[in-house]
Structure 1
Protein backbone atom coordinates (compact mmCIF):
# COMPACT_ATOMS: atom_id res chain seq x y z
CA UNK A 1 0.00 0.00 0.00
CA UNK A 2 1.24 3.49 -0.86
CA UNK A 3 2.13 5.37 2.31
CA UNK A 4 4.13 8.28 3.70
CA UNK A 5 5.97 8.32 7.04
CA UNK A 6 6.35 11.09 9.63
CA UNK A 7 8.75 11.12 12.58
CA UNK A 8 9.90 13.77 15.07
CA UNK A 9 11.74 14.24 18.34
CA UNK A 10 14.21 11.39 18.06
CA UNK A 11 16.85 13.44 19.91
CA UNK A 12 19.65 11.36 18.45
CA UNK A 13 22.95 11.52 20.29
CA UNK A 14 25.80 9.32 21.41
CA UNK A 15 24.29 9.14 24.90
CA UNK A 16 21.21 7.31 23.55
CA UNK A 17 22.49 4.16 21.77
CA UNK A 18 19.11 2.41 21.85
CA UNK A 19 17.47 5.29 19.98
CA UNK A 20 20.28 5.30 17.45
CA UNK A 21 19.96 1.56 16.85
CA UNK A 22 16.18 1.84 16.45
CA UNK A 23 16.58 4.73 14.02
CA UNK A 24 19.13 2.90 11.88
CA UNK A 25 16.87 -0.17 11.70
CA UNK A 26 13.94 2.05 10.76
CA UNK A 27 15.95 3.72 8.00
CA UNK A 28 17.13 0.37 6.61
CA UNK A 29 13.92 -1.65 6.92
CA UNK A 30 10.80 0.56 7.11
CA UNK A 31 11.62 3.88 5.46
CA UNK A 32 12.64 2.34 2.08
CA UNK A 33 9.08 1.01 1.69
CA UNK A 34 7.53 4.49 1.91
CA UNK A 35 6.82 7.02 -0.80
CA UNK A 36 8.40 9.75 1.33
CA UNK A 37 9.75 10.45 4.81
CA UNK A 38 9.09 13.67 6.70
CA UNK A 39 11.24 14.54 9.73
CA UNK A 40 9.47 17.21 11.78
CA UNK A 41 12.34 18.51 13.86
CA UNK A 42 14.53 17.58 16.81
CA UNK A 43 16.19 14.79 14.89
CA UNK A 44 19.23 15.41 17.10
CA UNK A 45 19.50 16.11 20.79
CA UNK A 46 21.66 19.02 19.74
CA UNK A 47 23.04 20.02 16.34
CA UNK A 48 25.84 22.55 16.58
CA UNK A 49 26.63 22.97 12.90
CA UNK A 50 27.14 21.11 9.65
CA UNK A 51 30.91 21.30 10.16
CA UNK A 52 30.69 18.87 13.09
CA UNK A 53 32.01 15.75 11.34
CA UNK A 54 32.35 13.43 14.29
CA UNK A 55 31.80 9.73 13.42
CA UNK A 56 28.35 9.60 15.03
CA UNK A 57 27.07 12.37 12.78
CA UNK A 58 28.58 10.68 9.73
CA UNK A 59 26.66 7.50 10.57
CA UNK A 60 23.36 9.39 10.67
CA UNK A 61 24.16 11.21 7.45
CA UNK A 62 24.92 7.94 5.71
CA UNK A 63 21.55 6.51 6.72
CA UNK A 64 19.79 9.44 5.04
CA UNK A 65 22.06 9.26 2.01
CA UNK A 66 21.28 5.57 1.54
CA UNK A 67 17.55 6.29 1.74
CA UNK A 68 17.49 9.18 -0.71
CA UNK A 69 19.72 7.31 -3.16
CA UNK A 70 17.23 4.45 -3.07
CA UNK A 71 14.62 6.86 -4.42
CA UNK A 72 12.74 7.82 -1.25
CA UNK A 73 12.59 11.62 -0.80
CA UNK A 74 13.27 12.99 2.68
CA UNK A 75 11.86 16.32 3.88
CA UNK A 76 13.06 18.10 7.01
CA UNK A 77 11.59 20.86 9.18
CA UNK A 78 13.84 22.33 11.86
CA UNK A 79 13.07 21.83 15.53
CA UNK A 80 14.25 23.71 18.58
CA UNK A 81 17.28 21.40 18.98
CA UNK A 82 18.51 21.30 15.38
CA UNK A 83 17.75 24.71 13.88
CA UNK A 84 21.46 25.05 12.97
CA UNK A 85 21.19 22.14 10.54
CA UNK A 86 21.82 23.69 7.15
CA UNK A 87 22.27 23.36 3.43
CA UNK A 88 25.55 21.43 3.70
CA UNK A 89 23.82 18.61 5.58
CA UNK A 90 20.98 18.64 3.06
CA UNK A 91 23.32 18.50 0.07
CA UNK A 92 25.40 15.69 1.57
CA UNK A 93 22.35 13.53 2.29
CA UNK A 94 19.91 14.48 -0.46
CA UNK A 95 17.45 15.74 2.14
CA UNK A 96 15.17 18.68 1.28
CA UNK A 97 14.82 21.47 3.85
CA UNK A 98 11.34 22.93 4.32
CA UNK A 99 10.23 26.19 5.96
CA UNK A 100 8.90 26.24 9.54
CA UNK A 101 5.36 25.73 8.27
CA UNK A 102 4.56 23.82 5.10
CA UNK A 103 1.27 22.84 3.48
CA UNK A 104 1.53 19.58 1.56
CA UNK A 105 -0.94 17.68 -0.60
CA UNK A 106 -1.11 14.16 0.78
CA UNK A 107 -3.32 11.71 -1.08
CA UNK A 108 -5.76 14.44 -2.01
CA UNK A 109 -5.85 16.31 1.31
CA UNK A 110 -4.10 19.57 2.16
CA UNK A 111 -2.19 19.15 5.43
CA UNK A 112 -0.14 21.61 7.46
CA UNK A 113 3.10 20.24 8.94
CA UNK A 114 5.48 21.88 11.41
CA UNK A 115 7.68 21.11 14.40
CA UNK A 116 5.20 22.61 16.84
CA UNK A 117 7.30 24.71 19.22
CA UNK A 118 5.86 27.94 17.82
CA UNK A 119 2.41 26.78 18.99
CA UNK A 120 3.42 26.81 22.68
CA UNK A 121 2.77 30.52 23.13
CA UNK A 122 2.02 30.28 26.86
CA UNK A 123 5.68 29.44 27.49
CA UNK A 124 6.79 33.07 27.26
CA UNK A 125 10.33 32.32 28.40
CA UNK A 126 10.87 29.81 25.61
CA UNK A 127 9.17 32.00 23.02
CA UNK A 128 11.60 34.82 23.85
CA UNK A 129 14.54 32.44 23.30
CA UNK A 130 12.96 31.18 20.08
CA UNK A 131 12.72 34.67 18.64
CA UNK A 132 16.42 35.17 19.33
CA UNK A 133 17.53 31.74 18.13
CA UNK A 134 15.58 31.97 14.87
CA UNK A 135 16.68 35.54 14.17
CA UNK A 136 19.30 36.50 11.63
CA UNK A 137 22.22 37.27 13.94
CA UNK A 138 22.25 34.57 16.65
CA UNK A 139 22.70 31.52 14.38
CA UNK A 140 25.47 33.31 12.47
CA UNK A 141 27.22 34.18 15.71
CA UNK A 142 27.00 30.60 16.98
CA UNK A 143 28.32 29.10 13.75
CA UNK A 144 31.27 31.51 13.79
CA UNK A 145 32.44 30.10 17.14
CA UNK A 146 34.87 27.15 17.42
CA UNK A 147 33.32 23.69 17.55
CA UNK A 148 34.64 22.98 21.03
CA UNK A 149 32.94 26.11 22.35
CA UNK A 150 29.66 25.30 20.61
CA UNK A 151 29.69 21.87 22.26
CA UNK A 152 30.11 23.54 25.65
CA UNK A 153 27.27 25.99 24.94
CA UNK A 154 24.96 23.17 23.80
CA UNK A 155 25.69 21.09 26.90
CA UNK A 156 25.00 24.00 29.24
CA UNK A 157 21.83 24.87 27.32
CA UNK A 158 20.48 21.32 27.70
CA UNK A 159 21.21 21.30 31.42
CA UNK A 160 19.54 24.69 31.86
CA UNK A 161 16.50 23.61 29.84
CA UNK A 162 16.02 20.48 31.96
CA UNK A 163 16.23 22.51 35.16
CA UNK A 164 13.80 25.18 33.97
CA UNK A 165 11.24 22.78 32.52
CA UNK A 166 11.03 20.76 35.75
CA UNK A 167 9.40 23.75 37.39
CA UNK A 168 6.96 24.64 34.61
CA UNK A 169 3.32 23.50 34.73
CA UNK A 170 2.45 21.05 31.95
CA UNK A 171 -0.09 23.35 30.32
CA UNK A 172 2.57 26.04 29.86
CA UNK A 173 4.72 23.72 27.73
CA UNK A 174 1.79 22.33 25.74
CA UNK A 175 0.24 23.73 22.58
CA UNK A 176 -2.05 26.74 22.89
CA UNK A 177 -5.23 25.50 21.17
CA UNK A 178 -6.16 28.95 19.89
CA UNK A 179 -2.74 29.29 18.21
CA UNK A 180 -3.10 25.90 16.52
CA UNK A 181 -6.52 26.93 15.24
CA UNK A 182 -5.14 30.23 14.01
CA UNK A 183 -2.35 28.69 11.92
CA UNK A 184 -4.70 26.05 10.53
CA UNK A 185 -7.24 28.69 9.57
CA UNK A 186 -4.53 30.82 7.98
CA UNK A 187 -3.24 27.82 6.00
CA UNK A 188 -6.74 26.77 4.97
CA UNK A 189 -6.43 23.19 6.29
CA UNK A 190 -8.40 20.91 8.58
CA UNK A 191 -5.43 18.69 9.53
CA UNK A 192 -2.24 19.69 11.34
CA UNK A 193 0.68 17.33 12.04
CA UNK A 194 3.45 18.32 14.46
CA UNK A 195 5.76 17.11 17.20
CA UNK A 196 7.70 18.94 19.95
CA UNK A 197 5.46 18.34 22.99
CA UNK A 198 6.25 14.60 23.29
CA UNK A 199 2.53 13.97 23.89
CA UNK A 200 1.36 11.69 21.07
CA UNK A 201 -2.34 12.04 20.40
CA UNK A 202 -5.00 12.71 17.79
CA UNK A 203 -7.06 15.72 18.84
CA UNK A 204 -10.46 15.94 17.14
CA UNK A 205 -12.29 19.28 17.26
CA UNK A 206 -14.35 21.74 15.23
CA UNK A 207 -12.74 24.56 13.30
CA UNK A 208 -15.19 27.19 12.10
CA UNK A 209 -17.98 24.65 12.19
CA UNK A 210 -16.11 21.91 10.35
CA UNK A 211 -14.36 18.73 11.63
CA UNK A 212 -10.63 19.21 12.21
CA UNK A 213 -7.80 17.24 13.73
CA UNK A 214 -4.36 17.88 15.21
CA UNK A 215 -2.01 14.91 15.17
CA UNK A 216 0.90 15.02 17.61
CA UNK A 217 3.91 12.77 17.11
CA UNK A 218 5.62 11.31 20.15
CA UNK A 219 9.33 11.18 20.96
CA UNK A 220 11.73 8.23 20.77
CA UNK A 221 13.07 8.27 24.33
CA UNK A 222 11.27 5.11 25.39
CA UNK A 223 9.38 4.01 22.28
CA UNK A 224 9.35 4.63 18.54
CA UNK A 225 6.60 7.06 17.54
CA UNK A 226 5.58 6.98 13.89
CA UNK A 227 2.72 8.38 11.81
CA UNK A 228 1.77 6.36 8.76
CA UNK A 229 -0.41 8.16 6.20
CA UNK A 230 -1.96 6.34 3.26
CA UNK A 231 -4.91 6.71 0.95
CA UNK A 232 -6.89 4.75 3.52
CA UNK A 233 -6.23 7.13 6.41
CA UNK A 234 -3.75 7.93 9.17
CA UNK A 235 -2.35 5.68 11.89
CA UNK A 236 -0.28 6.99 14.82
CA UNK A 237 1.87 4.08 15.92
CA UNK A 238 4.38 3.35 18.66
CA UNK A 239 6.75 0.45 19.08
CA UNK A 240 9.59 -0.82 21.21
CA UNK A 241 13.04 0.60 20.57
CA UNK A 242 14.62 -2.85 20.77
CA UNK A 243 13.76 -6.03 18.95
Structure 2
Protein backbone atom coordinates (compact mmCIF):
# COMPACT_ATOMS: atom_id res chain seq x y z
CA UNK A 1 0.00 0.00 0.00
CA UNK A 2 1.22 3.50 -0.85
CA UNK A 3 2.35 5.49 2.16
CA UNK A 4 2.01 9.25 1.81
CA UNK A 5 5.20 11.25 2.25
CA UNK A 6 5.50 14.56 4.04
CA UNK A 7 8.84 16.30 3.52
CA UNK A 8 10.00 19.58 5.01
CA UNK A 9 12.91 21.94 4.38
CA UNK A 10 14.45 23.89 7.23
CA UNK A 11 17.37 26.20 7.80
CA UNK A 12 18.40 29.48 9.43
CA UNK A 13 18.21 32.73 7.49
CA UNK A 14 20.71 32.77 4.65
CA UNK A 15 20.96 29.00 4.34
CA UNK A 16 19.81 29.20 0.72
CA UNK A 17 16.59 27.23 0.93
CA UNK A 18 14.91 29.14 -1.90
CA UNK A 19 17.88 28.66 -4.23
CA UNK A 20 18.09 24.94 -3.45
CA UNK A 21 14.36 24.44 -3.90
CA UNK A 22 14.50 26.22 -7.28
CA UNK A 23 16.90 23.50 -8.44
CA UNK A 24 15.48 20.50 -6.58
CA UNK A 25 11.76 20.88 -7.26
CA UNK A 26 11.99 20.54 -11.08
CA UNK A 27 14.06 17.39 -10.59
CA UNK A 28 11.42 15.93 -8.30
CA UNK A 29 8.66 16.85 -10.72
CA UNK A 30 10.53 15.12 -13.51
CA UNK A 31 11.29 11.88 -11.68
CA UNK A 32 8.54 11.23 -9.13
CA UNK A 33 5.70 8.91 -10.06
CA UNK A 34 3.35 10.62 -7.60
CA UNK A 35 1.81 14.07 -7.50
CA UNK A 36 4.13 16.58 -5.83
CA UNK A 37 2.62 19.42 -3.80
CA UNK A 38 5.08 22.21 -2.99
CA UNK A 39 4.02 24.68 -0.32
CA UNK A 40 5.42 26.97 2.37
CA UNK A 41 5.02 28.34 5.87
CA UNK A 42 3.87 30.65 7.13
CA UNK A 43 1.30 30.70 4.35
CA UNK A 44 0.38 28.13 1.73
CA UNK A 45 -3.36 28.88 2.01
CA UNK A 46 -5.19 32.21 1.42
CA UNK A 47 -6.03 32.68 5.10
CA UNK A 48 -2.59 31.51 6.24
CA UNK A 49 -0.99 33.95 3.78
CA UNK A 50 -2.90 36.81 5.42
CA UNK A 51 -1.49 35.73 8.77
CA UNK A 52 1.98 35.62 7.18
CA UNK A 53 1.65 39.26 6.12
CA UNK A 54 0.67 40.21 9.65
CA UNK A 55 3.57 38.34 11.25
CA UNK A 56 6.32 39.57 8.94
CA UNK A 57 5.19 43.18 8.51
CA UNK A 58 8.09 45.29 9.86
CA UNK A 59 5.57 47.89 10.99
CA UNK A 60 4.23 45.54 13.66
CA UNK A 61 6.95 46.32 16.19
CA UNK A 62 4.51 46.06 19.11
CA UNK A 63 3.71 42.40 18.45
CA UNK A 64 4.30 40.35 21.60
CA UNK A 65 6.54 37.30 21.24
CA UNK A 66 3.82 34.90 22.39
CA UNK A 67 1.33 36.50 20.03
CA UNK A 68 3.81 35.81 17.23
CA UNK A 69 4.17 32.16 18.26
CA UNK A 70 0.39 31.72 18.43
CA UNK A 71 -0.09 33.32 15.02
CA UNK A 72 2.45 30.94 13.49
CA UNK A 73 0.59 28.01 15.05
CA UNK A 74 -2.76 29.33 13.81
CA UNK A 75 -1.41 29.78 10.30
CA UNK A 76 0.04 26.27 10.45
CA UNK A 77 -3.26 24.69 11.50
CA UNK A 78 -5.12 26.41 8.66
CA UNK A 79 -2.46 25.38 6.14
CA UNK A 80 -2.44 21.82 7.41
CA UNK A 81 -6.21 21.47 7.19
CA UNK A 82 -6.62 23.11 3.79
CA UNK A 83 -3.52 21.99 1.90
CA UNK A 84 -1.26 19.42 3.53
CA UNK A 85 -3.72 16.87 4.93
CA UNK A 86 -5.94 16.75 1.80
CA UNK A 87 -2.84 16.22 -0.36
CA UNK A 88 -1.58 13.39 1.85
CA UNK A 89 -5.02 11.76 1.87
CA UNK A 90 -5.12 11.63 -1.92
CA UNK A 91 -1.64 10.06 -2.01
CA UNK A 92 0.51 13.02 -2.97
CA UNK A 93 4.03 13.76 -1.80
CA UNK A 94 4.12 17.09 0.05
CA UNK A 95 7.22 19.26 0.23
CA UNK A 96 6.84 22.14 2.67
CA UNK A 97 9.29 25.02 3.09
CA UNK A 98 9.38 25.23 6.93
CA UNK A 99 7.14 23.60 9.53
CA UNK A 100 7.12 23.14 13.33
CA UNK A 101 10.92 23.03 13.64
CA UNK A 102 11.02 26.66 12.51
CA UNK A 103 8.72 27.76 15.32
CA UNK A 104 10.74 25.88 17.91
CA UNK A 105 13.95 27.46 16.63
CA UNK A 106 12.76 31.00 15.93
CA UNK A 107 10.13 31.59 18.61
CA UNK A 108 11.16 29.03 21.20
CA UNK A 109 14.90 29.75 21.12
CA UNK A 110 15.25 32.97 19.14
CA UNK A 111 12.51 34.80 21.08
CA UNK A 112 13.43 32.85 24.22
CA UNK A 113 9.86 31.94 25.14
CA UNK A 114 10.74 28.26 25.55
CA UNK A 115 11.29 25.48 23.04
CA UNK A 116 9.09 23.06 24.98
CA UNK A 117 6.25 25.59 25.25
CA UNK A 118 6.32 26.28 21.51
CA UNK A 119 6.46 22.56 20.74
CA UNK A 120 3.36 22.04 22.88
CA UNK A 121 1.45 24.85 21.14
CA UNK A 122 2.23 23.25 17.81
CA UNK A 123 1.37 19.76 19.00
CA UNK A 124 -2.16 21.11 19.49
CA UNK A 125 -2.12 23.02 16.18
CA UNK A 126 -0.97 20.02 14.12
CA UNK A 127 -2.67 17.19 16.04
CA UNK A 128 0.77 15.62 16.17
CA UNK A 129 1.46 15.60 12.42
CA UNK A 130 5.21 15.13 11.96
CA UNK A 131 7.22 15.13 8.71
CA UNK A 132 8.58 11.82 7.45
CA UNK A 133 11.80 13.58 6.47
CA UNK A 134 13.27 17.00 7.17
CA UNK A 135 16.20 18.30 5.14
CA UNK A 136 18.04 20.82 7.29
CA UNK A 137 20.39 23.17 5.44
CA UNK A 138 22.95 24.19 8.02
CA UNK A 139 25.00 27.36 7.90
CA UNK A 140 26.63 29.38 10.71
CA UNK A 141 24.52 32.38 11.66
CA UNK A 142 27.15 34.94 10.66
CA UNK A 143 27.59 33.38 7.22
CA UNK A 144 23.84 33.36 6.64
CA UNK A 145 23.45 36.96 7.78
CA UNK A 146 26.30 38.12 5.55
CA UNK A 147 24.57 36.48 2.59
CA UNK A 148 21.30 38.23 3.38
CA UNK A 149 22.87 41.62 3.92
CA UNK A 150 24.85 41.42 0.69
CA UNK A 151 21.69 40.71 -1.32
CA UNK A 152 19.23 43.04 0.39
CA UNK A 153 21.00 46.38 0.54
CA UNK A 154 18.05 48.11 -1.13
CA UNK A 155 15.23 45.92 0.21
CA UNK A 156 13.35 46.42 3.45
CA UNK A 157 13.96 43.61 5.93
CA UNK A 158 11.04 41.77 7.47
CA UNK A 159 10.61 41.56 11.26
CA UNK A 160 12.87 38.52 11.64
CA UNK A 161 15.63 39.88 9.42
CA UNK A 162 15.84 42.92 11.68
CA UNK A 163 16.73 40.92 14.78
CA UNK A 164 20.17 41.18 16.38
CA UNK A 165 22.90 38.65 15.63
CA UNK A 166 22.41 36.92 18.99
CA UNK A 167 18.85 36.05 17.98
CA UNK A 168 20.09 34.23 14.88
CA UNK A 169 22.82 32.47 16.87
CA UNK A 170 20.13 31.07 19.19
CA UNK A 171 18.05 29.97 16.20
CA UNK A 172 20.91 28.02 14.66
CA UNK A 173 21.82 26.40 18.00
CA UNK A 174 18.21 25.25 18.40
CA UNK A 175 18.22 23.72 14.93
CA UNK A 176 21.37 21.78 15.78
CA UNK A 177 19.71 20.50 18.97
CA UNK A 178 16.66 19.40 17.00
CA UNK A 179 18.84 17.59 14.46
CA UNK A 180 20.75 15.80 17.22
CA UNK A 181 17.52 14.79 18.97
CA UNK A 182 15.83 13.54 15.78
CA UNK A 183 18.53 11.80 13.72
CA UNK A 184 16.09 9.47 11.94
CA UNK A 185 13.93 12.34 10.67
CA UNK A 186 16.32 15.25 10.21
CA UNK A 187 19.14 14.97 7.67
CA UNK A 188 21.69 17.79 7.78
CA UNK A 189 23.21 19.17 4.58
CA UNK A 190 26.23 21.49 4.75
CA UNK A 191 24.94 24.73 3.20
CA UNK A 192 28.35 26.44 3.30
CA UNK A 193 29.27 24.47 0.18
CA UNK A 194 28.83 25.94 -3.31
CA UNK A 195 25.19 25.90 -4.38
CA UNK A 196 25.70 23.07 -6.89
CA UNK A 197 27.11 20.82 -4.16
CA UNK A 198 24.30 21.67 -1.74
CA UNK A 199 21.72 20.85 -4.42
CA UNK A 200 23.47 17.58 -5.30
CA UNK A 201 23.61 16.48 -1.65
CA UNK A 202 19.97 17.41 -1.15
CA UNK A 203 18.86 15.47 -4.23
CA UNK A 204 20.80 12.44 -3.03
CA UNK A 205 18.95 12.52 0.29
CA UNK A 206 15.57 12.93 -1.38
CA UNK A 207 16.19 10.24 -3.97
CA UNK A 208 17.13 7.75 -1.25
CA UNK A 209 14.07 8.59 0.80
CA UNK A 210 11.71 8.52 -2.19
CA UNK A 211 13.26 5.56 -3.98
CA UNK A 212 9.92 3.72 -4.18
CA UNK A 213 8.43 6.62 -6.17
CA UNK A 214 11.45 7.56 -8.29
CA UNK A 215 11.80 6.77 -11.97
CA UNK A 216 14.77 7.61 -14.17
Q: TM-score, normalised by structure 2?
A: 0.35
Structure with larger RCO (C-alpha < 8 A, sep 6+)? 2
Higher helix fraction (1 or 2): 2
Greater per-residue strand proportion: 1
TM-score, structure 1 normalization: 0.32
